[in-house]
């Protein structure tokens, strides 16, 4: 592998002096600047979040007021309902969570945090965005093709997804598979870039254990994704062949097995949970350290735990399949691995709580969202223990208890964690501060209505309400939950509406927000040592790193923060 | 809150519920400990002029013990949950007690079809009886249902019996239950199976031994 120092010194030394203004198109559309690409991903993922919220609204309307005309849409046909359920999951997981947590924050932060000018492969980076855009287009178009969007659930289980006559979707299903395959290609390119960049382009003095924890989390997520996605892409191609070429990989009457897909899907699908989780945990660790003015507690153990959890995430997948028809004797081994994987995450969570102890905490909006992530995620982690227990899963599998559980884990990471990251890095991204009052209002409304939606949803699930049914009133035993479902829907609509506060704050701050200093939060990591927003190629001179990122409140230090490029020998940096 | 669950009418439903409650008490305690600590720290350590945070990195074992000790407790509790769970899992899904009545349950878009072998006890013979969405069983007998599917994956869900099992094309998956009281209980499909998924709903009719005999006499009058 080429020597990074050589690569950098082989470029003209006076490059930033000859930096010239690029046209709007070159600068914002066909840019290879990692910061612009991050903003492109941000725009697209927020667009998808709006569509995802709209699908959520329609689903909730139908459940609370079955077979009435939804306000602003009309009557929701059963087939359309299945499409909405399918697309809600697909959009939120693959087109909001992944681009937001991985592509936006990974792209924006990794080069800045390691003191690099850009990604190792800027053009590959741009290509990965354009493939993602193409994949987005394919998915978007699938809403409008004959037969509608895919309707086999976001897990796309065959045989429902394998034959048009089963009504899991026709052209929509093919486009769904195509768009996922494209998206995975895009994220593979992104992951390669993250890894190569971090391995080769770290600033002098930036050893592996001086990397901020979010970079570790992004890298681990990229590796998990790269190693798990292959089987699913292969599986998706087999499914496309079953659909279009007459093969029978998943069709029992031709000698295939529907369970094959479930194994391929969850072999990817469970590691994917950690692909989404880790960057969110990284965000809140960075934010909490800064606003608590404390080092991340157990920094190295957290990194080791992250890597261990990454490995373990490959051997827990069948806990999604306890009652799928696989051999019941497999349930216990997978229960045990599922329990083992709780250990590294317990370590991470307890370490975050320990970081709060003895702190000097200010509750600005990024911190509120970070603490919200922590509080909500713990709830979701605890309800996961019910799902992980095979006998309890017999009853709660495929009920709203599971839906409530994974919204507690995913919504906390993607939205609470994502908002924490946006409020925190907005000044660096756009050079202006977000409005603090609106931020606080946004947090409290989101927190209130989120719990208003999903705490009652656990109860609905415990009553036995199945996932993906359009009308619970068709069942005698579900009659008592009607008022609860109406309440959930009301809360969900309020939750969606309260995001308008964020939208207003975002655009208002973009135009009129207070101009940001270089380091408004007095943070240690390298991205805050350059201007807000950073220039093309980020740093005027490559920063040199002298310490780890978490020297907050170091005894005898001149201030309660010491940036990583601070070489002051009087501030004892120990072995870091 | 037990009354919020559908009434339990199977011999093993109570075991499933007891694991649920066992986990419920454990996680409720953890919930209050963790969230309580977070809230306490938020109030206790709010920023004040002149205060400075403690520089605690967790690099020494004595510091790390604050994290490792609770993890040890987590592991012990996890193992307890799994050991108790394994017994219940084995009871419901593992070894099935010998069948007193065997029925085939076939999922198809969008009905449950049940096939009784008839007096000869053999499937595929002339005295088989197929019903749509109605599973007639006697109370207090071990019923085996051999699940399969004609088209897509369905999930055989008996909420009042705490039983759920996917019905998969190409496989025959046996499940069992024994009812503890007579009555009618629903059998929804719990796996998305197409546009008619919502409303795919059968009924298990649990009869007293006499009523069940009457039903048999009615269906196979030559007996």
Q: Phi/psi of residue A467, each to 5°?
A: -65, 150
Select the residue of A335, A342, A469 nearest B197 (Cβ to Cβ): A469
Q: Is the peptide bond before A159 cis (omega within 30 degrees of 0)?
A: yes
Looking from the CA of A10 toward its CB, the CA atoms found within 13 Å total 6
Query: Do B81 and B23 meet the contact criterion of CB atoms below 8 Å apart?
Result: yes
Position A19 in a domain: no
Give the pLDDT confidence score for residue A558 in this predicted structure.
Answer: 83
Determine contact: A497 vs chain B, CB below 8 A: no
**Does A191 score more than 70 pLDDT?**
yes
Contact B171 A252 (CB under 8 A): yes
- Cα–Cα distance between A498 and A444 in angstroms, integer? 10
- A502: CB partners within 8 A, 6+ apart: A419, A438, A442
Neighbours of A181 (CB within 10 A): 18
The residue of chain B with its CA nearest to that of A161 is B152
Domains belonging to chain B, first-starting first, are 2-47+54-94 (1.10.287), 101-219 (2.60.40.420)
Tell whether A568 is covered by a domain: no
Closest CA in chain B for residue A348: B67
Query: How much of chain B, in percent, has pLDDT values that exceed 90?
Result: 89
Contacts of A508 (CB under 8 A, 6+ apart): A435, A438
Span of A254-268, A333-347, A356-370, A387-401 with lowest mean pLDDT: A333-347
Verify whether the Cβ–Cβ distance A470 to B92 is below 8 Å. no
Q: Is A560's CB within 8 Å of B191's CB?
A: no
For A380, nearest residue in chain B (alpha carbons)? B31
Tokens of A426: 């907005």
User: CB distance B41–A463 less than 8 Å?
Assistant: no
* pLDDT confidence bin for A11, thresholds 50/70/90: very low
Is A446 domain-assigned?
Answer: yes
Using the beta-carbon criterion (under 8 Å), do A464 and B157 form an inter-chain contact? yes
Distance between CA A195 and CA A278 in Å, rounded?
15
SS3 (DSSP) at B199: coil
Q: Do the strands B143-149 and B101-108 form a parallel or antiparallel pair, or are they unpaired?
A: parallel
CA–CA min distance A233, chain B (Å)? 22
Alpha helices in B45-160 (DSSP H): 61-89
- CA nearest neighbour of B57 among A245, A555, A13: A555
Sign of the torsion formed by the C-alpha atoms of B23, B24, B25 and B28: positive
Look at residue A349 in the predicted model and tell me its pLDDT.
96
Q: What is the DSSP letter of A33?
A: -
A305 and A344 in contact (C-beta within 8 Å)? yes
Instruction: Say how far apart CA A333 and CA B211 lie, in whole Å.
Output: 44
Q: Identify the residue among B42, B46, B55 best suited for mutation to test binding to A, counting A beta carbons within 10 A and taking the highest.
A: B55
Whether residue A21 is contained in a domain is answered as: no
- Identify whether A331 is part of a domain: yes
Gap from B164 CA to chain A (nearest CA, Å)? 6
Q: Which of B23, B30, B152 sits opposite A166 (nearest CB)?
A: B152
Average pLDDT over chain B, rounded to an integer: 94
* Residue A569 confidence (pLDDT): 66
* pLDDT surpassing 90 at residue B94: no
pLDDT, one tens digit per residue, over A103-151 is 999 999 999 999 999 999 999 999 999 999 999 999 999 999 999 999 9
Tokens 């250990």 sit at which residue? A343
**Lowest mean pLDDT across A110-114, A336-340, A543-547:** A336-340
DSSP conformational letter for A208: G
Count of domains observed in chain A: 1
Q: What is the pLDDT of residues A70-101, one digit of tens each?
A: 999 999 999 999 999 999 999 999 999 999 99
Report CB contact under 8 Å: A353, B79: no
Lowest mean pLDDT among A205-219, A271-285, A334-348: A334-348
Contact with chain B for residue A470, Cβ under 8 A: yes
B202: buried, middle or exposed (CB in 10 Å: 19+, 13-18, 0-12)?
buried
- pLDDT of A230 strictly over 60: yes
pLDDT digits (tens, 9 = 90+) for B112-171: 999 999 988 899 998 999 999 999 999 999 999 999 999 999 999 999 999 999 999 999
Residue A435 covered by a domain: yes
- Determine the average pLDDT of the residues in B83-104: 93
C-alpha B185/C-alpha B159 separation (Å) is: 8
pLDDT for B222 equals 73
Q: In whole angstroms, how far apart are CA A409 and each of A155, A227, A249?
A: 18, 23, 33
Give CA–CA dist A493/A496, Å, rounded. 5
- The number of residues in chain B equals 223
In this prediction, residue A571 carries a pLDDT of 54
B188-216 mean pLDDT: 96
Q: Which of A347, A392, A403, A553 to probe the B interface (max B CBs under 10 A)?
A: A392
DSSP A518-568: S-TT---SGGGGS-SSPPTTS-SS-----S-TT-BS-TT-SSSB--TT---
User: pLDDT-derived band of residue B221, with 50, 70 and 90 as boundaries?
Assistant: confident
Residues of A in contact with B75 (CB under 8 A): 339, 343
Q: What percent of chain A has pLDDT over 90?
A: 88
Residues of A in contact with B155 (CB under 8 A): 323, 398
Residues of B in contact with A253 (CB under 8 A): 169-170
- The two tokens of residue A144 are 């409008």
pLDDT of A486 strictly over 70? yes
pLDDT digits (tens, 9 = 90+) for A406-431: 999 999 999 999 999 999 999 999 99
Strand partners, B101: B143
Would you say residue A23 has pLDDT above 80?
no
CATH number at residue A380: 1.20.210.10
Report if pTM > 0.80: yes
- For the cut 80, the answer to whether the pLDDT of residue A24 exceeds it is no
Residues spanned by the domain of A288? 37-529
DSSP state of B141: S
> For B72-86, what is the mean pLDDT?
92
Judge whether A363 is closer than 8 Å to chain B, CB to CB. yes
């Amino acid at each position: 592998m080429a020597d990074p120092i050589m690569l950098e010194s082989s470029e003209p030394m006076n490059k930033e002096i000859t930096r010239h203004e690029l046209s709007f198109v070159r600068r914002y559309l066909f840019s290879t600047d990692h910061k612009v690409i991050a903003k492109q991903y941000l725009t697209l993922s927020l667009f998808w979040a709006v569509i995802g919220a709209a699908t959520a609204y329609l689903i909730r309307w139908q459940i609370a007021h079955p077979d009435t005309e939804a306000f602003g849409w009309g009557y929701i046909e059963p087939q359309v309902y299945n499409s909405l359920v399918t697309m809600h999951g697909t959009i939120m997981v693959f087109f909001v969570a992944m681009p937001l947590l991985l592509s936006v924050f990974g792209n924006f932060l990794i080069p800045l945090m390691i003191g690099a000018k850009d990604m190792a492969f800027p053009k590959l980076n741009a290509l990965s965005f354009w493939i993602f855009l193409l994949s987005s287009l394919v998915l978007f178009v699938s809403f409008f093709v004959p037969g509608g969007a895919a309707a086999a659930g976001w897990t796309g289980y065959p045989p429902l997804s394998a034959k048009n006559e089963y009504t899991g979707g026709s052209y929509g299903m093919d486009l769904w598979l195509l768009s996922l395959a494209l998206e995975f290609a895009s994220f593979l390119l992104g992951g390669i870039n993250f890894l190569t960049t971090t391995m080769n382009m770290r600033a002098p003095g930036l050893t592996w254990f001086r990397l901020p924890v979010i970079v570790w989390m992004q890298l681990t997520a990229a590796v998990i994704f790269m190693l798990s996605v292959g089987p699913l892409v292969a599986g998706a191609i087999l499914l496309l062949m079953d659909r279009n070429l007459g093969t029978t990989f998943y069709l029992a009457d031709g000698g295939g097995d529907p369970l094959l897909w479930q194994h391929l899907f969850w072999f990817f699908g469970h590691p994917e949970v950690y692909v989404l989780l880790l960057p969110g945990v990284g965000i809140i660790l960075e934010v909490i350290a800064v606003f608590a003015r404390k080092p991340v507690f157990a920094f190295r153990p957290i990194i080791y735990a992250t890597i261990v959890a990454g490995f373990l995430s490959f051997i827990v997948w069948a806990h999604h399949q306890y009652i799928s028809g696989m051999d019941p004797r497999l349930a216990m081994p997978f229960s045990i691995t599922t329990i083992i994987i709780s250990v590294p995450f317990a370590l991470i969570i307890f370490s975050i709580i320990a970081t709060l102890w003895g702190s000097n905490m200010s509750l600005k909006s990024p911190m509120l969202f970070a603490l919200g992530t922590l509080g909500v995620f713990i709830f979701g982690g605890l309800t996961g223990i019910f799902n992980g227990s095979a006998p309890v899963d017999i009853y709660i599998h495929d009920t709203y208890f599971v839906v409530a559980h994974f919204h507690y884990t995913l919504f906390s990471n993607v939205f609470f964690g994502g908002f924490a990251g946006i409020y925190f890095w907005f000044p660096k991204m756009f050079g202006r501060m977000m409005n603090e009052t609106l931020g606080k209002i946004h947090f409290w409304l989101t927190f209130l209505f989120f719990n208003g939606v999903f705490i009652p949803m656990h109860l609905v699930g415990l009553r036995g309400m199945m996932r993906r049914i359009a009308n619970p009133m068709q069942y005698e035993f579900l009659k008592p939950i009607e008022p609860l479902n109406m309440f959930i829907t009301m809360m969900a609509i309020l939750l969606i509406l309260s995001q308008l506060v964020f939208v207003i704050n975002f655009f208002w701050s973009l135009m009129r927000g207070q101009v940001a200093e270089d380091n408004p939060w007095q943070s240690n990591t390298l991205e805050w040592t350059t201007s807000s927003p950073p220039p093309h190629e980020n740093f005027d001179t490559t920063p040199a790193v002298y310490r780890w990122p978490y020297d907050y409140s170091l005894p005898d230090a001149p201030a309660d923060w010491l940036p990583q490029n601070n070489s002051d020998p009087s501030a004892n940096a120990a072995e870091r | 809150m037990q009354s919020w669950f559908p009434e339990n009418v199977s011999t093993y439903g109570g075991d499933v519920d007891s694991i649920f409650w066992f986990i419920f008490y454990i996680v409720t305690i953890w919930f209050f400990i963790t969230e309580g600590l977070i809230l306490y720290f938020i109030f206790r350590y709010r920023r004040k002029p002149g205060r400075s945070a403690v520089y605690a990195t967790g690099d020494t074992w004595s510091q790390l013990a604050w994290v490792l000790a609770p993890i040890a407790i987590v592991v012990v509790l996890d193992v307890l949950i799994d050991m108790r769970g394994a017994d219940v899992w084995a009871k419901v899904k593992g070894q099935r007690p010998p069948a007193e009545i065997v029925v085939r349950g076939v999922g198809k878009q969008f009905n449950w079809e049940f096939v009784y072998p008839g007096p000869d006890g053999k499937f595929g013979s002339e005295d088989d009886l197929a019903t749509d969405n109605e599973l007639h069983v006697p109370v207090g007998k071990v019923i085996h249902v051999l699940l399969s599917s004609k088209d897509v994956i369905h999930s055989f869900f008996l909420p009042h019996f705490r039983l759920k099992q996917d019905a998969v094309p190409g496989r025959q998956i046996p499940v069992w239950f024994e009812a503890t009281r007579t009555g009618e209980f629903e059998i929804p499909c719990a796996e998305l199976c197409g546009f008619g998924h919502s409303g795919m709903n059968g009924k298990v009719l649990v009869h007293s031994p006499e009523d069940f005999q009457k039903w048999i006499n009615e269906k196979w009058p030559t007996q």
